Structure 1
Amino acid sequence: MLPRRDFLALGAATAAMALLPGRAFAAIPTGVKVHGLSAFGDLKYKPDFAHFDYVNVDAPQGGTFNFSPPNWGQNQSPLTFNTLNSFVPKGDAPQRMEMCFDSLMVRALDEPDAMYGLIADGVTISDDRNGFTFSLRPQARFHDGTPLTADDVAFTFKLLKDKGHPDYSLSLTHLDDAVAKDAHTVELIFSGKQSARTILNVVGFPVLSKAFFTANPFDSSQLNPPLGSSAYKVGRWSAGTWIEYERVADYWGNDLPVNRGQNNFQRIRIEFYQDRTAAFEAFKKGEILYREEFTSRVWAKQYDFPAFTAGKVVKHEFPAETVPSMQATAVNQRRPQFQDPRVRRAIALCFDFEWTRRNFFYGSYERSQSCFEKSDFRAEGTPSPEELALLEPLREKLPPEVLGEAVTQPASDGSGRDRKQLGKAAKLLAEAGWKRSGDFVVNDKGGRLPAEFLVEDETFVQVYSPWVANMKAIGIDASIRLVDSAQYQLRQSTFDFDLISAAFSFSATPTRDDLEIFFHSRSASVSGSRNLPGTSSPAIDMLIDAVGAAKDRESLTVAMRALDRALRARRDWIPSWYLANHRSAYWDMFGFPGQKPDFGFPVEALWWIDKGKAAKIGKA
């Protein structure tokens, strides 16, 4: 954090950043129970709404949906699992364990940040706007029939704050207390130091059973399915191989407006494969029914198998969500050789996206430039006056490029070895004190500059090999290390790598908590955080505070663009590529709503089995 004198010296930026928690949700009255929350008070659905507009309330229920989830969070892995506790920093949990647990409120996928009551039927905000009192539905139950009470909620938030995965614990840093007022009333009390929109994250956290986790350890040794409360529960499973989630017939929340038209499959099955080829072969055989295709070569060349040519399998591109996303390579500044930004820039110049796009991606990906791609938060051109009000006082704490044109990754000549760009990279290394000695550059002690990519998939060995070859050409001791999923997860969570690539999506209305886990000094040393490069900058911290302080969407956009400029100028992350759409492939046996929501795409929750289609392709 900045010393107090530096904070006061921020001058005009201080006023732009300042927003006390007392002004959070200013459009929502205090002392009155409300049915929903949103960052700026804009709620589409009224208290008596029947269901979300993007669902089919008449969708039939039943059948098995065996799919390959395209995304995951916390300690989950797409390749294996060795724990059923998805809420702790360590271990590999199966994807979609979150489907088994209800939360106080749930997000509407056709609004950027609105939350509506699930376990809670409403919330009352205190006069100082630091306290949130939730009225719990008395019918809420765990899967064993026991009541879900305020004691469980209070227990959960204290547990996640103390021992939970950083995705949870960092948002709860300023939670002072969680108090069960009675069996159906719980109050969350914050210190006043929290982000104005912290509560939007917190109300979506899973509520756990106090009885279960009092009797069982809250750690990664847990292969006993935790007691849940939601539409699905863990059914059969084989550790590391497959898991099934069974729909709960007497689920207490079936008829709530936030659930109607959703959770239509009787069984959701996920199988785990160590490589993409095996997963694709399973899809071709109909053992997997839905997948998103992330390998351009496969999408372009390998959908020629019998089921596809017979029309049983469909390829379809659905529009991507209108949320900021980042796919990039983190350069780990916990390693001394990467602390000079000139070295990070030199590494970036060795990546020939144009050659990679032509030879590996079949022209399907676009070059990413921003940490918040595909959104209005992507900085363009020179800073606006409003952005300058935030950036100018931080001039001495940020790279000089931040006040000019937004930093972009230059286009190469597409040859695979652009001599001009490699020459610039070599010059940057020399300026940073790395001198050529034979095949390598060395520092003043004669030590080489190692740069090892950590990957868990053979596909990335192929994609990154030309990048590594270019780094070697300018004297970097570059290499690729392919490891198994368990080792990859462990090394990522403990920051034991040089270079590592990742893809993330942010909320359409990012909160300070969303951003802290990726970019804030506080998360740089927290194992399991998403701050993979080890970004630690008081100026970045202040810009994240500005995002958290935004009083409306306009000021939020200004703060996010300023943050984007600063992150891009620091070059902690090397932006890589992105897709404009979801490349979906599925066996033609499903129904789905005609209009995809703008802020989410949970196929497993919104789709259903169309028995007529299934019969036509022999899947009835």
Structure 2
Amino acid sequence: MARPRIFRFSPLFALTGALLLSATLSASEDNPDQGKAAPVEPVHALAMHGEPAYGPDFSHFSYVNPDAPKGGRLRLAVRANGYDTFNPLVVRGVAAAGISTYLYDTLLVSSDDEPFSAYGLIAESIETPEDRSHVVYNLRPEARFHDGHPITAEDVAFTFNLLMEKGHPFYRSYYAGVENVTVESERRVRFDFGDTSNRELPLIVGQMPILPEHYWQEHVFGEEGLTRPLGSGPYRIGEFEAGRYITYERAEDYWAADLPVRKGRFNFDRIRYDYYSDETVSLEAFKSGDYDFRLESSAKNWATAYSGDRFADGRIITEAIEHQRPAGMQAFIFNTRRDKFSDPKVREAIAHAFDFDWANRNLFYDQYERTDSFFENSELASSGLPQGRELEILNAYRDQLPDDVFTEAYSPPSTEGDRTLRDNLRKAMTLLQEAGYRIQDGAMVHQDTGETLSFQFLLHQKNFERIVLPFKNNLERLGMDVSVRLVDTNQYVERVQSYDFDIVTQVISQSDSPGNEQRDFWHSSVVDIKGSRNYAGIADPVVDALVEKVIQAPDRETLVNHVRALDRVLLHGHYVVPQWHLSMDRIAYWSFLERPETTPKNGVDVDNWWYGD
């Protein structure tokens, strides 16, 4: 048994622990059983709320084929200008596609057909009390890194501290509730949480990719570039050429291959990602057989490009498969760190110049639905006027919120029915006048400073120009000075991470069980931290408070009501111009690929597929 080792020890925790120990000892003099904590039984899985769907004796997830053959290859494409690092855990650089999925194993893995349940991978079992004030992970003795070195509790504690000190800023926010880590034995590690109302922490700590301490003692984390790191997952890095392709080779001796959480998954011997800087070239390469599977994001391509002999004779298959995962928010996002966007009336006015209905008819072949929630396509989305428990939650902040939150159901500007773009532009002009702007010599200028309302759309996808340019024209009709800048992917990533933009298009993805990651999206504590996903620069005490309430929700009903309240406040803040969503995955693939009969609620996952005849 290893000597207990404690990390990130807090003096406050030490004092609290001493007082609790004193109280327990005093009580035990009168009653030996008084003050003793109830024993915590080890379990195979945890659900955020309720019980996991799969019991301790489950053999595989219901959406995989446990008898899927191993072998063959899968070739995929990435629309980007390349990569420059194999480290996805730091803010620096652009990581190669697939690294997080294939190279590193985690303590727990989530199922794809539940809101949020996590099952043991490296961890054989989990121990956590009812209040989830701490968690113990008991590691599997067979867990191994690719060099045969066992995965130990020391590696878990090392990884946590490394990520908190040198990892992406996201981790410091995500794991903020962890007070200390204790290595209790070679295969037993304990995390204590300072905030016992955060029931998600045992699950999200379990998502942490575990790194080998013995490897990183000889390498500099964050500066290793394209040196192949040591992993523990189902694949190793094979051949690669920086910026052009990367290949993963299945680990024949993968330690977890027969575990229930891995059965039927990761079936290909080799997975290769090829990089394409041009979308048209990428599509033609797929149709020529240069890669095997494609998730189509363009409505125009889906409507017009998937035809020809290879489709007619069945060599290439196309399917639109419905899913039930939250769509999140794809939107034009304002950088409110810029003074020009500090007034919500200005942001709302700009939103009135985006004619989604015209774009859907003329550019998207009527394939999309307009997004009107940050938690679109889920029960978490707000709708109508607030009522019931959601209204009670919002009433606590009524004096800090605009009246619209309570009196108007949010709906993005539309040109459906009797409403026209001209009507929307008139409304935009009224809002701009209320914000202190006026037309002077054909330009929209601020009446106090005389500055023209000028800004730039930053893009990295050329096919998005056809969407932005009509929007730009509408804005110029209002006297605004608008430009569009197209940059390569790497520059785009760097500028977004540094908040060096006026307006960008981003997707804010959501799960069916929002929690600690909401801090990284909206909380004022990350507004100036490079690499956070608070792209809009939101710093609102009401939003901060609601985020914490979401994280602390003790049950599903409470979570849903607080998320809806948060959603409503964000929408009425006009931080984004919502775009669109699709509740299906549009996929095309060559017929030698086969997939399970059941698709999980989260949608298509090619890692459940296999190479057929």
Q: Structures share a fold, TM > 0.5? A: yes
Output the CA distance in 1 between the equivalents of 2:91 and 2:349: 33
Q: Is the counterpart of residue 359 in structure 1 residue 362 in structure 2?
A: yes
Per the alignment, do residues 193 and 36 of structure 1 end up closer, same or farther by CA in structure 2, a change over 3 Å counting? closer
| Match of residue 86, structure 1, among 66, 85, 88 | 88
Write the distance in 2 (CA, Å) between the matches of 1:561 and 1:466: 32
Residue 377 of structure 2 is aligned to residue 374 of structure 1: yes
Moved more, 118-127 or 457-466: 118-127
The code of the aligned residue for 2:610 comes to W
> In 2, Cα distance between the equivalents of 1:453 and 1:221?
34
Letter in 1 for 2:473: A
Check if 1:489 corresponds to 2:488. no
- Residues 527 and 298 of structure 1: is their aligned pair in 2 closer, same or farther, counting only changes over 3 Å? same
Task: Find the aligned partners of 1:167 and 1:315 in 2 and give their Cα distance.
Answer: 37
Shift of 1:221: 4.7
Q: Give the equivalent residue in structure 2 for 1:277.
A: 280
Unpaired runs of 5+ residues, structure 2, are 1-37
Aligned to 1:42: 51
Residue 560 of structure 2 is aligned to residue 557 of structure 1:
yes
Q: CA deviation at 1:199?
A: 2.6
Partner of 1:52: 61
Counterpart check, 1:237 vs 2:240: yes
Structure 2 residue aligned with 1:445: 449
CA distance in 2, matches of 1:220, 1:425: 49
What amino acid sits opposite 1:497 in the alignment?
F
User: What is the Cα deviation at residue 126 of structure 1?
Assistant: 4.6
- Tell me the equivalent position of 1:9: none
Aligned pair partner of 2:212 in 206, 209, 212: 209
Aligned to 1:16: none
Contact 2:372 2:411 in 1 (8 A): yes
Query: What corresponds to 2:12 in structure 1?
Result: none
CA contact (8 A) 1:78 1:95 kept: no
CA drift of 1:397 comes to 1.7
Q: Which amino acid aligns with 2:61?
A: F
Query: Is 2:464 the partner of 1:457?
Result: no
Q: Helix, strand or coil: the match of 1:272? A: strand
Aligned to 2:518: 515
Instruction: State the 1:467 CA deviation.
Output: 0.4
- Please show how residues 209-358 of structure 1 align to structure 2 within 5 Å: 209-219=212-222, 221-358=224-361
Letter in 1 for 2:560: T
Match of 1:606 in 2: 608
Counterpart code for 1:609:
Y
One-letter code of the match for 2:89? F
> Which digits, 9 at most, give the CA deviation of each residue in 1:316-341, with x for residues without a partner?
01112333521111111000000000
- Compared CA separation, residues 30 and 110, structure 1 to 2 (3 A): farther
- Give me the whole-angstrom Cα distance separating, in 2, the residues matched to 1:417 and 1:274: 38
CA RMSD in angstroms, aligned pairs only: 1.8
Alignment correspondent of 1:524: 527
Distance 1:561 1:432 in 2: 28
State the shift of 1:193 in Å: 6.4
Q: Which residue of 2 aligns with 1:95?
A: 97
Q: What is the rounded CA distance, in whole Å, between the counterparts of 1:61 and 1:264 in structure 2?
A: 5
Distance change (3 Å), C-alpha of 1:474 and 1:221: farther
Provide Cα deviations, 1:475-497, integer angstroms capped at 9, x if missing partner: 11111110011110000001110
Amino acid at match of 1:93: A
Structure-2 separation of matches of 1:415 and 1:167: 45
How far apart are 1:305 and its partner, in Å? 3.5
Deviation at 1:602, TM superposition (A): 2.1
For residue 533 of structure 1, report the CA deviation from its aligned partner: 0.4
Range with bigger deviation, 489-498 or 207-216: 207-216
For the Cα contact (< 8 Å) 2:73–2:271, is it kept in 1? yes
Q: CA deviation at 1:347?
A: 0.8
Is the contact made by 1:68 and 1:292 (CA closer than 8 Å) also made in structure 2? no
Match of 1:579 among 566, 579, 582: 582
Q: Distance in 2 between matches of 1:310 and 1:281?
A: 18
| Structure-2 separation of matches of 1:414 and 1:436 | 30
Give the secondary-structure state (helix, strand or coil) at the position aligned to 2:330: strand
Give the structure 2 partner of residue 137 of structure 1: 140
C-alpha separation in 1, matches of 2:39 and 2:464:
52
Aligned position for 1:10: none
Native 8 Å contact 1:314 1:587 kept in 2: yes
* Partner in structure 2 of residue 596 of structure 1: 599
CA distance 1:324–1:193, change in 2 (3 Å): farther
Please say if 1:61 is aligned against 2:61. no
Distance in 2 between residues matched to 1:157 and 1:582, nearest whole Å: 35
Secondary structure of 1:37's counterpart equals strand
1:402-438: CA deviation from partner (whole Å, max 9, x where unpaired): 1123311121159998111111111211111122112
Distance 2:282 2:223 in 1: 26
Question: For structure 1, which segment, 158-167 or 202-211, has the greater mean C-alpha deviation from structure 2 after superposition?
Answer: 158-167
Q: Is the aligned partner of 1:32 residue 2:10?
A: no
CA distance in structure 1 between the partners assigned to 2:480 and 2:223 by the alignment? 38
Matched, 1:500 2:504: yes
SS in 1 for 2:395: helix
- 5+ residue gaps, structure 1, are 1-28, 70-76, 612-620
TM-score (norm 1): 0.90
Q: In structure 2, what residue type is equivalent to 1:406?
A: A
Q: Indicate if the aligned counterparts of 1:168 and 1:205 stay in contact, CA closer than 8 A.
A: no
Match of 1:474 among 467, 478, 486: 478
CA distance in 1, matches of 2:359, 2:424: 15
- CA contact 2:322–2:603 (8 Å) conserved in 1: no
Map Cα deviations across residues 106-154 of structure 1 (whole Å, 9 max, x no partner).
Answer: 0011211110000000111157632211110111111111111111110
Counterpart contact for 1:324–1:377, Cα < 8 Å: no
**Could you give the per-residue CA deviations for residues 302-357 of structure 1, whole angstroms, max 9, x where no partner exists?**
11233223321111011123335211111110000000000000110010001111
Q: Give the aligned length.
A: 574
Between structure 1 and structure 2, the one with the greater Rg is 2
Counterpart in the other structure of 1:73: none
Distance 1:159 1:135 in 2: 21
Q: CA deviation at 1:195?
A: 2.6
Displacement of 1:41 after TM fit? 3.0
CA distance in 1, matches of 2:225, 2:502: 31
2:154 to 151, 154, 160: 151
1:106 aligns with 2:97: no
Mapped to 2, the partners of 1:139 and 1:528 lie a distance apart of: 36
Residues in 2 aligned to 1:462 and 1:384: alpha-carbon distance in whole angstroms: 40
Asked if structure 2 preserves the Cα contact closer than 8 Å seen for 1:398 and 1:570, the reply is no
Report deviation, 1:49: 1.4
Moved more, 198-207 or 116-125: 198-207
Indicate the SS of the match to 1:337. Answer: helix
Q: Offset at 1:378?
A: 1.2
- Per-residue deviation, 1:267: 0.6
8 Å contact from structure 2 (residues 143, 255) kept in 1: yes
Amino acid at match of 1:393: A
SS across alignment from 1:269 = strand
Cα 1:413–1:554 change in 2 (3 A) is closer
**Cα offset, 1:220, TM superposition:** 5.1
1:430 aligns to what?
433
Q: Which amino acid aligns with 2:499?
A: F
Q: Residue 131 of structure 2 contacts residue 199 of structure 2 at CA under 8 Å; is this kept in 1?
A: no
1:331–1:344 CA contact under 8 A, matched in 2: yes
- Structure 2 CA distance for partners of 1:351 and 1:502, relative to 1, 3 Å: same
Deviation at 1:186, TM superposition (A): 0.9
Q: Which amino acid aligns with 1:183?
A: E
Change (3 A) 1:311 1:601: closer
